[in-house]
Structure 1
Amino acid sequence: MELSEILSRCDHTLLKQESTWEQIREVCDDGLKFNCASVCIPAGFVKQAGDYLGDRLKICTVIGFPNGYSTTAVKVFETEDAIRNGADEIDMVINIGWVKDRRWDDLLAEIKAIKASCQGRILKVIVEACLLTEEEKVKMCEIVTASGADYIKTSTGFSTGGATREDVKLFKEHIGPGVKVKAAGGIRTLQDAEDFINLGADRLGTSAVVKLAKNEHPEGY
């Protein structure tokens, strides 16, 4: 698989708590240079990044991150605020406790509310697969499909594990038409990236792939 194809599926990501604007700006520059799908950055930097990038590159941010246990009203407000500041795509974290309590209707209602707040923008639903049983993963595929969200996403990268090949395969087998898969967390090598794409991931949440590309092609694409 061509490196350029892998890069075009990458949400070039920097979500560390200690991230500075200088680091965020570098991520934006690299995202542009390597023709990434988007940059995924903290909400507090979205407006600054939007002013810097204009319409040259899509900006993604995260809602209810990383724990997912904010109220629905708070997540909706976060989404609306992010969009006012210029976010093009939203990645939201579900309430994992609601999964454990089998509060399926509440989970569906929350995702639908956030999708409505996206005003037509792409919504990716982070289910934190490392904390779920296989039965719960399959159920979340059904709920994300029913919600009208655009993607199911494996992980925040801030819990006990990241994307696995098994989870991407499972999601691909159980999501409905029109729903895509984003693999995130622990994607360290180009082989990882290619494997996830071949298994059905349409997007990758990663910073490592661009760093590897910079080593091989410092001039960009």
Structure 2
Amino acid sequence: MDRAGLDTARVAKMIDHSLLRPELTARDVLEGCALAARYDVASVCVKPVDVARAARELSGTDVLVGTVVGFPHGSSTTAVKVAEARTALADGARELDMVLDIGRLRGGEDRAVAEDVRAVVEAAREGDALVKVVFENAYLTDEEKIRACRLSAEAGADYVKTSTGFAPGGATLADVRLMRAHVPERVKVKAAGGVRTLDLLLEMVEAGAERFGATATAAILDDLAGRTAR
């Protein structure tokens, strides 16, 4: 994707405003939802316990509610991940960022990884929700990332995502390019972890990312608005 023509409204709809830090209070979540509504971003990504609260707060807006599944290590059983997905949907979530089973991927248990993803995708379809599969690239080799791309796409994922934002490293341009090159066109790439400036976001757009997890949402969009107003 080229950065040409990316105005503030369009870039806002590429951002999932992240509200996942463990210390966030109910007040913090409500303030984050208000910010997301003010900037009209794509979604908020909240902890499972906050989904119902966020859905109430954002009712009547165009901002979707997303949440995480198997977060942050991907080590929950498939049954638990499916239960998390269904509970989130019932609470109002419409986007699910699930962490794949990192250990099984690294161990070469491809069938188990694919079945885990597919089960969550099937649960998500019951509520017409999107699924983004989080790889946690800081722990993976390029070969493992490529396998994760193939397995996620075959299992029906809508997005592949670089990172949770809670590992030693986050999104990199090299990883975004690698992931874009190894998923079919229908599967999109989400960059998360360390995307804190407009310039980096725009570079990642050129590398192939179409969605971003961000906590610096206001700073990024205010910067773009200031540049386009000149």
In 1, Cα distance between the equivalents of 2:223 and 2:210? 24
Give the alignment of 1:41-60 within 5 angstroms.
41-56=46-61, 57-60=63-66
In 1, Cα distance between the equivalents of 2:223 and 2:20? 22
Measured at CA, do residues 113 and 55 of structure 1 come closer, stay the same or move farther in structure 2, by a change above 3 Å? farther
Q: Does 1:63 align with 2:69?
A: yes
Letter in 2 for 1:105: R
In 2, Cα distance between the equivalents of 1:205 and 1:127? 14
Q: Does 1:88 align with 2:94?
A: yes
Letter in 2 for 1:67: H
Alpha-carbon RMSD: 1.5
**Correspondence for 1:133:** 141
Q: Does 1:171 align with 2:200?
A: no
Aligned length in residues? 218
Cα contact 1:7–1:210 (8 A) shared by 2: no
In 1, Cα distance between the equivalents of 2:224 and 2:26? 26
Q: Does 1:33 align with 2:41?
A: no
Shift of 1:151: 0.2
In 2, Cα distance between the equivalents of 1:183 and 1:43? 21
Taking structure 2 as the reference length, what is the TM-score of the superposition? 0.91
Cα contact 2:99–2:133 (8 A) shared by 1: yes
Unaligned stretches of 5+ residues in structure 2: 1-5
Letter in 1 for 2:104: W
Measured at CA, do residues 170 and 216 of structure 1 come closer, stay the same or move farther in structure 2, by a change above 3 Å? closer
Q: Which structure 1 residue ranges, 4+ long, deviate > 3 Å from structure 2?
A: 211-218
Cα contact 2:192–2:213 (8 A) shared by 1: yes
**Correspondence for 1:104:** 110
Over residues 70-91 of structure 1, what are the superposed CA-to-partner deviations in whole Å (9 max), with x where a residue is unaligned? 1111111000111110101000
SS of 1:68's equivalent in the other structure is coil
Measured at CA, do residues 128 and 217 of structure 1 come closer, stay the same or move farther in structure 2, by a change above 3 Å? same
Shift of 1:215: 7.3
In 2, Cα distance between the equivalents of 1:217 and 1:23? 25
**Correspondence for 2:129:** 121
Shift of 1:32: 1.1
Unaligned stretches of 5+ residues in structure 1: none
Over residues 136-189 of structure 1, what are the superposed CA-to-partner deviations in whole Å (9 max), with x where a residue is unaligned? 011111111101110000000001100000000001111013100000000011
**Correspondence for 2:15:** 10
In 2, Cα distance between the equivalents of 1:192 and 1:24? 26
In 1, Cα distance between the equivalents of 2:200 and 2:123? 33
Identity across matched positions, percent = 38
SS of 1:201's equivalent in the other structure is coil
SS of 1:182's equivalent in the other structure is strand
